[in-house]
Amino acid sequence: MKVNPQIFRGYDLRGLVGTDLSPELAQHLGKAYGTYLKRHKIDSAVVGRDCRETGVPYSKSLIEGLRWAGINVTDIGMQLVGTFYWSQYYLKIPAGVYVSASHNPPEFNGFKFANGYSETLVSDGMQTLKTMVEAEDYDKAASRGLLRSVSILPDYYSDILKRLPLTKHFKVVVDPGCTTAGSIAPELLRRAGCEVVEYNTKVDSSFPLGVADPTETQVVERLRQEVLESKADIGFTYDADGDRIGIVDDAGNIIWNDVLMALFSVDVLHDHPGSKIMFNTLCSKVVPETIKRAGGQPFMWRTGHSFLKKKNQEVKAVFIGELSGHFFFSADFHNHDDGLYSSLRLLQAIERSGKKLSQLLAELPRYVSSPEIKVSCPDDKKVELVEKLEPILRAKYPDAEIINDERAGDGIRIELSDGMIVVRYSQNGPYLTVKFETRTQASYDVLRQEINSILHKLPDIDWESRISANVEALTNT
């Protein structure tokens, strides 16, 4: 089958609905993945999806392809991806597909292919799947696989609440931007004893408020106003598949997820003193500084939650986190990200501290940091553009430490004496990611102007694209 090869990305498949993706392709993917499973002696798979409009027809076609290949399918319907991963353990099924394009706009959809418990196909595995689809290298089973539908939420709620019991009654705001978490998160938090104030929890597949991305300033600014208006203890927002979270504290402070990573690290190290904690290249210097101060061992690795999960088979970190909001409590939970587990885990950490979240935040080292900035760039140009950027940044900051080895993976990190700069190309979308920070507002303003000037001299960046996000941080103080 003819297919756009660029939709097979580093750790999932994503593309434009009607252009790259179709029910026909979904069925071919089912046949390919089903054949892949059967060749690895696996005969069952879980299928779930987020709230996107095309999730239903794509799931249906995918299931048809899987059953054609002889795979028995358990359909769990619309769920969060963390709930999907959890269901693998609950159902004792190591394989599965989750239909979602995460934080991409509604005109996108995609597929995550499980490769064991809490793991997904990455790089080589995705390329194997691509080759199978292109060659239509499928094995038709002698008999179709069986299909059953299962409701897993009651048991999921019970398990999470048993792991993370709360005694303090928090007042929390939940605003998932009309996406999937709206149908699941409020109920879990109420069962945990919270007073829940709901904003935009009615699921709407058209994404009427725009992309549900916790790293976008407009999303957390909306949450900030809601928290202050409600006089809540904390506010939660989620992306469309619910594995990532965004946080606003009781004082209305927006807590970017690398700072949240530092807060989580302190709590985790109380339970696992001296342990190793892994974070991605985009994280602020506040993360390794806080980990060291709390007696832990910081370990930096390349961006991409599947890469981090894979690396942790070797590193054995007790906790892993990313700027984007993926958190893995590997020593206390399963080795996957679950935004609802992270939400309750944060509430538990606040309760155990005996302080307000804003007070915990004030105890951390302070940097003036940009949000995660995304600048649109075509998939076939983004790697070359990062390669062009490296010598420019080296020349501009000759005294800095340059990290461009496997820890950076798909970009470069510039370690300054009082801050850092990261530029990388995305594994799951047509854009570059940029983040920078320094100790003071004055030095931050200078650095911001320098980065803005460098980026605007580059070709192939589309500043008007809907893919671009937080670009105003390059011009606003």
Active site residue 149: no
**Which amino acid is located at 341 in the chain?**
Y
CA distance 443 to 49: 45
The residues, ordered by sequence, that sit 6+ positions from 442 with a Cβ below 8 Å of its Cβ are none
- Phi, then psi, of 131 in degrees rounded to 5: -60, -40
The H-or-E segment that residue 190 falls in is helix 185-191
- Going from the C-alpha of 203 to that of each of 183, 311, 404, the distances in angstroms are 7, 35, 41
Q: From the candidates 44, 61, 87, 102, which is the catalytic residue?
A: 102
Domain ranges of the chain: 5-151, 154-252, 255-362, 368-474
Whether the Cβ atoms of residue 464 and residue 472 lie closer than 8 Å to each other: no
Residue found by looking up tokens 């961006």 in the block: 303
Name the class of domain 154-252: alpha beta
Within this chain, domains 154-252 and 255-362 share the same CATH topology: yes
Domain 5-151 CATH (choose: 3.40.120.10, 3.30.300.30, 3.40.50.300, 3.40.228.10):
3.40.120.10
Superfamily of domain 368-474, CATH level 4? Alpha-D-phosphohexomutase, C-terminal domain (3.30.310.50)
Cα 467 from chain centroid (whole Å): 16
How distant is the alpha carbon of residue 75 from its chain centre?
23
**Phi (first) and psi of residue 443, to 5 degrees:** -70, -30
Amino acid at 12: D
Question: Which architecture, in CATH terms, is 255-362?
Answer: 3-Layer(aba) Sandwich (3.40)
Strand order in the sheet with 254-255: 195-198, 171-174, 234-238, 245-249, 254-255
The CA-based angle 222-179-184, given to 5 degrees, is 105
pLDDT tens-digit profile, the chain (477 residues) = 999 999 998 789 999 999 999 999 999 999 999 999 999 999 999 999 999 999 999 999 999 999 999 999 999 999 999 999 999 999 999 999 999 998 888 999 999 999 999 888 988 999 999 999 999 999 999 999 999 999 999 999 999 999 999 999 999 999 999 999 999 999 999 999 999 999 999 999 999 999 899 989 999 999 999 999 999 999 999 999 999 999 999 999 999 999 999 999 999 999 999 999 999 999 999 999 999 999 999 999 998 777 887 788 899 999 999 988 899 999 999 988 999 999 999 999 999 999 999 999 999 999 999 998 999 999 999 999 999 999 999 999 999 999 998 898 889 999 999 999 999 998 878 999 999 999 999 999 999 999 999 999 988 899 989 888 899 999 875
Instruction: Please say whether the beta carbons of 349 and 293 come within 8 A.
Output: no
Exposed / middle / buried, residue 280 (Cβ in 10 Å: 0-12, 13-18, 19+): buried
